[in-house]
Amino acid sequence: MNLIKITKKKYPIEIDLLYATKKNFTGKQIYKKKDCYLHKSAIPMFEKSIDLANKLNLKLKIFDAFRPAEAQWKLWEHTPDDNFIAHPKKGSPHSRGVALDLTLLNNKKKELDMGTGFDNFTKKSFHNNKNISKNAQKNRLILLEIMLAAGWDFYKKEWWHYQLFNSKKYKLITNNMLKKPMM
């Protein structure tokens, strides 16, 4: 398996996998475990993102990373909107292990204002939205600059979503393929 476990012991980050709780847009726990994984090809960009954030006295906070294909189906069944959730037959970059949903924390471990919360499925979540405060616009640009400089691609409709370029070249990973299933 090409997935690498991401932990707070290994990296100076915060992890709050919201799909491992009921604090997500479905109101249901999607993952049984709070294990966070990334494809080994994403690790160099991930590490560079951490370094760039640290140089700005900021820290990454991960909401989601690898997502088994079965979990993608659960999200799609709840909200079948391909503006925000990839159709499971097409596959999500998350289900390939090459995507991160994240935000930035200040040195007091407080999330920076991004204008909306994670998984806000409205136009306010679009990168170019001007109907949010100037501070939130600035914070989104800081996150965007960190992630782009580290080598990530972005999704224009979700300020929190970053993925490897050419993500479709990576294979979909199901829960059954994992040594320790997440679901």
Band (pLDDT 50/70/90 cuts) for residue 170 is: very high
* Average pLDDT of span 55-77: 94
Q: How far apart are CA 170 and CA 53, in angstroms?
A: 27
pLDDT for position 174: 74
Give residue 124's identity as a one-letter amino acid code: K
- Tokens 């998350």 correspond to 94
| pTM beyond 0.75, yes or no | yes
For the chain, what are the domain ranges?
3-177
136 membership: H or E segment, kind and range: helix 134-149
pLDDT at 47 over 60: yes
Q: What percentage of the chain exceeds 90 in pLDDT?
A: 84
Residue 134 has pLDDT above 90, yes or no: yes
pLDDT tens per residue, range 79-109 = 999 888 999 888 899 999 999 999 999 999 9
Of 47, 70, 111, 158, which is the active-site residue? 158
Q: Can you give the pLDDT at residue 70?
A: 87
- pLDDT, tens only, 147-159: 999 999 999 999 9
Contacts of 154 (CB under 8 A, 6+ apart): 127, 144, 147, 148, 161, 162, 163
Buried b (16+ CB within 10 A) or exposed e, 38-47: bbeebeebbe
| Dist CA 30 CA 71 (whole Å) | 6
Is 14 among the residues known to form the active site? no
What architecture does CATH give domain 3-177?
A: 2-Layer Sandwich (3.30)
